[in-house]
Structure 1
Amino acid sequence: MEILLCRTLNQSTRHQTIRRFFAGVSRLGDGPVWYTLMGALVLNPGWKGAVASLQMGLTALVGIALAWLPGLSPLLLPLVLLIALSRVVLGLHYPSDGLVGGIIGYGLARLSLWLYPAATPLQMAS
């Protein structure tokens, strides 16, 4: 069933517009969005921004971003889902790869926050 889903999604890339869109989204998952977020956190006054950026780099970028900045979840979750979908559409991964990757990322984020219990989420400036 998973192979059938992958083939169906991959066949959608016959359309040049769809292929270009998902290729661009897939490239975002390679780092630019996450590196930009980490750089912005370092600019946060005080030491918490640098600590959060370092922690993100060492443990699962997506999981930590959602844990440290829950206010960004409405923005980050759709992006993460689009990146995961793009990898399936482009034939790079099976859907179960994305699911397991998400579970691993969430687990790493929880472990990281458990290891650093004194850490508190950053407050977004209004």
Structure 2
Amino acid sequence: MTYAVVFKVYRWDDAVDHNFRRCRALAVGADFFILYDRTYGDDLPEDIRTHDRVFFVTNQDALDLGLSGTHDGRVNLFWYNADYQHSLFVLKYPDYDFFCFVESDVEGSKNPDFGSSRHNNINELSF
């Protein structure tokens, strides 16, 4: 069984860094990725950028794929359509059995149990 833990972020600060490091430490057995929305900039630290798997997205990526939604430049398209980022990621990395998407403002407390999830026919976990 293969799974990806995907840490979703659009800006980097001390709180995000704390949650990122905790999430990465808890992702035992997973392929760990950062999904970084750089629609309005990119402040990802260089050490993170060079040592971790990073998948960059922008509003334009979703629009280029033909996903619907209006974007007038004032509100990020992903704010109202958080699943668009998931779709972009899964299209790029389709070979995983499970995906666990974690928002940057969430502090995980344990490693997700994908074995029991598969047994119970659960397709997506968030923690």
Q: TM-score, normalised by structure 2?
A: 0.30
1 or 2, which has the higher helix percentage? 1
1 or 2, which has the higher strand percentage? 2
Q: TM-score, normalised by structure 1?
A: 0.30
